[in-house]
Structure 1
Amino acid sequence: MVGKTVSTSLAALFILSGCSTISQKEAFDSVNQLTLEQGSKHLQWIKTPQESASVDESVRVLLSEPLTQENAVRIMLINNRALQQTYENIGIAQSELVEAGLMRNPLLGYSIGRTNGITTSTISVEVAFLDLLWIPLRRELSGLALEETTLSVGDSVLRSARDAKKSYIEACLAEEKVALYRSILKSHEASLQLAVRQYTAGNLSKRDMLKIQESYERARIESIKLARENATARESLNKILGVYGEQTHYTLSSEPQERSEPTVSEPGLEKRAISNRLDMRSAIKSVDYAAKQAGYSENTRLLDEVELSIESEKTTGEKRFNTFGIKLPIPIFDFGQARVSKSQAIYNQSVHRLYEMAVNVRSEVREGYAHLRYTYDIAHSYDEVIVKTNQQILEETQLFYNGMLDGIYELLEDQRRAGEAKMEALDALGEYKRAQADLEYTIGGKL
């Protein structure tokens, strides 16, 4: 019976091709492990409304207290929707791996014809049998692609963590500068009020009064600019955290940004970066994939498709006639040379890209380390020399003022200079902290 023959053939092919199941959790756990080794943890892949609600609750709890840098990174890792989009690449790559392990479905054909009272019916099954031989190669290719995707997603996580740290630093320093500048602006206001009273009493020239008024207005404009920068920095942080509405009403932690001297030295950092960077490891997998793809193209260049066919024909009044056949491609026009050449070019391209990345990463390490050292030295000079010196000058001016050797304008001016020195020190500290976050990503781990 042709029905029994077809069923037996399909069952055999199903067993040969194997059953594959999608295990995206295992691949995502690999990303979690990779990023955990480099300091980022608490990843969560949102797939259901229940998981989304759980993330919302976690974000609410974390934002109910003053936000620290660590919690900002935690919120970003579970709530940033750009990162959630990146996680879906794992699902795509895993699905392609499953698909690579499956044979193409057989083609079932049926035809019927009738003439002069005679009916002829034909049932046929065509199977791309040689496709079974390429399954191991395809699975190996898709496995490499999944590994490459896993490493690439891990690198995206670390990049996002770095950006979250930098955005948090910017938001904290912008808020602190606004608060610090209020005392400077009050000093300008006091100078202007005093100048107006002295001008009214005839003890100050109009020119000097106008100069003080112009200085106050410039200070007020600077205060507005700082408020604008604070709003911009705050929104940059909101975007990377993925928060909106009531969620944006959080407060930032008042803990001061620390300036600790770098304990690492430049020797060995390049090797550490080449070994640890996930984008480097992803590029290496890309080379492996291209090499396997080139071999696959070479192996299948002539016989990429072979079809087996089973046909059963029944004519009225006659016995059923069964035939078995095979279809082979004849390499007359296309010898597969174009596919082989293309895959070789892609392989060469991926090798050159890996070499370029290695050169660039080493350069980034040297540049990042130099930037860290220079910004630390600058921040140290501001804190230990510029700020302290201006504070001492202010204290001396206060003594002179108390002894009626200096006027109020000198005292107010030195107060402003001391405040401006602190503002510059904050800028230097922010530059150093951002350089620190950049170098940690560049070398693939904590300093």
Structure 2
Amino acid sequence: MAVLTVFLTGCATFSNDGGLDSVSTMTKERTGQAIQFSKPSAEANTTSDTVRQLLQKPLTPDTAVQIALLNNKGLQVSFAELGVAEADLVQAGRLRNPSFSFGRMRGGDDVEIERSVMFDLIGLVTMPIRSGIEKRRFEQAKLQTASQAVQLAADTRRAYFNAVAAQQTALYMEQVQGAADAGAEMSQRLARVGNVSKLDQAREQVFFADATAQVARARHNATAAREQLTRLLGLWGVNASFKLPDRLPDLPKAPNDMANVEQLAMSQRLDVQMAKSDAQATARALGLTKATRFINVLDAGYANTSETGEPRANGYEIELELPIFDWSGARTARAEAMYMQSVNRTADLAIRARSQVREAYSAYRTTYDLARHYQTEVVPLRKKISDEVLLRYNGMLASVFELLTDARDQVSSVNAAIEAQRDFWIAETDLQAAINGTGGSSVQISSSAPAEAGAAEH
């Protein structure tokens, strides 16, 4: 038994990578970026140097994800939880320490001494089962960590597109404010010489006042979106002054045609794999519960007794728990209920995953069509109208106020085009999350018709 104990405990050792290699592989397959655990050593300095190098240029979606996976402290917490799961696995492969008892009894001149060493036989017999359960839990912890990394990558991409779009909108609204300021000043000059009505002058002034309010709102939205991205990147101090591009990335030439999105989600989604792993681990735990239903405490060991004037007596001692009051029926029923709970949870998750990926693909195609529509139809038509109004103004066939009114009408169209392009990239991120991660958020496609109507009233 001693040789077997040494052999089994010797096999229970920690891995060299702590499970991070497989987590990094799963993350890279789904995001294109690997992960790295920063320890308080030279590795942390290497990570900081890498982050600083990436921040020297304007961020792209990929570099933002790379920085988040390297530098986000919340993700580092999940790496530590992975180490806890591996410690439980190693502990399950080691036998409980033996217990030593010593007793001394004295009666008159007689002295009786008892000694015993006890070993946990049940722990030895059930060690392979317990190790198998903890191994599955360790694999599930890997899936959980990879899921958090993939989720962080998706959140970072969403925050990146929101930040760039908010900055682009703020810059455009500043241009609108400048044009409104010029229109208001022109109306005041014309009013002094009596060439403009009070109604037209009031319209230009209210447009400038509204543009000023929109600039303040757009600047705050840009700051809030940037700070959300900063938090996900784990940046502070001088590193928080990173650069973003002036505009969103161009749309792809054509959307991806995915006819098998449901099959991809069932095979690649990490939450589905975690649910399956949890069901398997619960099934093994149920088997262990049934195996130890009647006897779950069994210790055996060597014992000897020495008494004054008598030769030393050697023997063995066995200690077991008698199932008299508790036959472990409740414990078995609880394990069976937990197993059925995990099975039904897995089935429910699979149904919701299929629905989420269908919804995400619909949002992806719709937002692409909308963004392309604004890019090829709405914005060019607005520009054509502006060119025509400008020609009429140069030919003295249109007044300056018609020119300013047309400029106001363009505001809603340009903002809607920026929002449509942002919504597409967020929908593309959500689609990838619905296929590879734990599901994306629902994309609500809002209409810009009220804004356009309001602009037309002016």
How far apart are 1:253 and its partner, in Å?
2.9
How far apart are 1:172 and its partner, in Å?
0.8
How far apart are 1:422 and its partner, in Å?
1.7
In the TM superposition, 1:41-440 aligns within 5 A as 41-254=33-246, 256-260=248-252, 262-440=254-432
How far apart are 1:305 and its partner, in Å?
1.5
Give the SS at the match of 2:424. helix
1:300-346: CA deviation from partner (whole Å, max 9, x where unpaired) = 10121211132222233432222312122221111111111111111
How far apart are 1:255 and its partner, in Å?
6.2
Give the SS at the match of 2:306. strand
- CA distance 1:418–1:210, shift in 2 (3 Å): closer
User: C-alpha separation between the residues in 1 aligned to 2:246 and 2:218?
Assistant: 18
**Match in the other structure for 1:4:** none
Assess if the C-alpha contact under 8 Å between 2:27 and 2:34 holds in 1: no
Assess if the C-alpha contact under 8 Å between 2:78 and 2:145 holds in 1: yes
TM-score by length of 1: 0.93
How far apart are 1:262 and its partner, in Å?
4.9
How far apart are 1:228 and its partner, in Å?
0.5
User: C-alpha separation between the residues in 2 aligned to 1:16 and 1:432?
Assistant: 55
State the Cα RMSD in Å: 1.8
How far apart are 1:26 and its partner, in Å?
5.1
Higher mean C-alpha deviation, range 331-340 or range 426-435: 331-340
How far apart are 1:290 and its partner, in Å?
1.0
Aligned AA for 1:215? F
Higher mean C-alpha deviation, range 177-186 or range 158-167: 177-186
How far apart are 1:419 and its partner, in Å?
4.0
Assess if the C-alpha contact under 8 Å between 1:184 and 1:420 holds in 2: no
Assess if the C-alpha contact under 8 Å between 1:40 and 1:158 holds in 2: no
Assess if the C-alpha contact under 8 Å between 2:31 and 2:153 holds in 1: no
How far apart are 1:263 and its partner, in Å?
3.9
How far apart are 1:22 and its partner, in Å?
1.1
User: C-alpha separation between the residues in 1 aligned to 2:11 and 2:432?
Assistant: 43
How far apart are 1:236 and its partner, in Å?
0.4
Aligned AA for 2:264? R
**Match in the other structure for 1:3:** none
Assess if the C-alpha contact under 8 Å between 2:183 and 2:404 holds in 1: yes
User: C-alpha separation between the residues in 1 aligned to 2:286 and 2:409?
Assistant: 67
**Match in the other structure for 1:6:** none
State the identity as a percent. Answer: 30
How far apart are 1:69 and its partner, in Å?
1.3
User: C-alpha separation between the residues in 2 aligned to 1:300 and 1:56?
Assistant: 51
User: C-alpha separation between the residues in 1 aligned to 2:146 and 2:181?
Assistant: 52
TM-score by length of 2: 0.91
User: C-alpha separation between the residues in 2 aligned to 1:35 and 1:15?
Assistant: 35
Give the SS at the match of 1:65. coil
Assess if the C-alpha contact under 8 Å between 2:169 and 2:218 holds in 1: yes
- CA distance 1:343–1:229, shift in 2 (3 Å): same
Identify which of structures 1 and 2 has the higher relative contact order when contacts are C-alpha pairs closer than 8 Å and 6+ apart: 1
Give the SS at the match of 1:47. coil
Higher mean C-alpha deviation, range 304-313 or range 389-398: 304-313
Assess if the C-alpha contact under 8 Å between 2:306 and 2:312 holds in 1: yes
Number of matched residues?
437
How far apart are 1:209 and its partner, in Å?
2.2
User: C-alpha separation between the residues in 1 aligned to 2:261 and 2:187?
Assistant: 58
User: C-alpha separation between the residues in 2 aligned to 1:262 and 1:159?
Assistant: 26
User: C-alpha separation between the residues in 1 aligned to 2:203 and 2:109?
Assistant: 115
Give the SS at the match of 1:321. strand
Give the SS at the match of 1:334. coil
Higher mean C-alpha deviation, range 403-412 or range 235-244: 403-412
Pairing 1:29–2:49 present: no
1:141-196: CA deviation from partner (whole Å, max 9, x where unpaired) = 01111111111211111111111111111111111111112221111111110111
Assess if the C-alpha contact under 8 Å between 2:55 and 2:239 holds in 1: yes
User: C-alpha separation between the residues in 2 aligned to 1:122 and 1:408?
Assistant: 111
Assess if the C-alpha contact under 8 Å between 1:40 and 1:161 holds in 2: no
Q: 5+ residue gaps in structure 1? A: 1-8
User: C-alpha separation between the residues in 2 aligned to 1:90 and 1:112?
Assistant: 47
How far apart are 1:13 and its partner, in Å?
3.4
How far apart are 1:429 and its partner, in Å?
0.5
Aligned AA for 2:221? E
Give the SS at the match of 1:320. strand
Give the SS at the match of 1:23. coil
User: C-alpha separation between the residues in 2 aligned to 1:90 and 1:103?
Assistant: 22
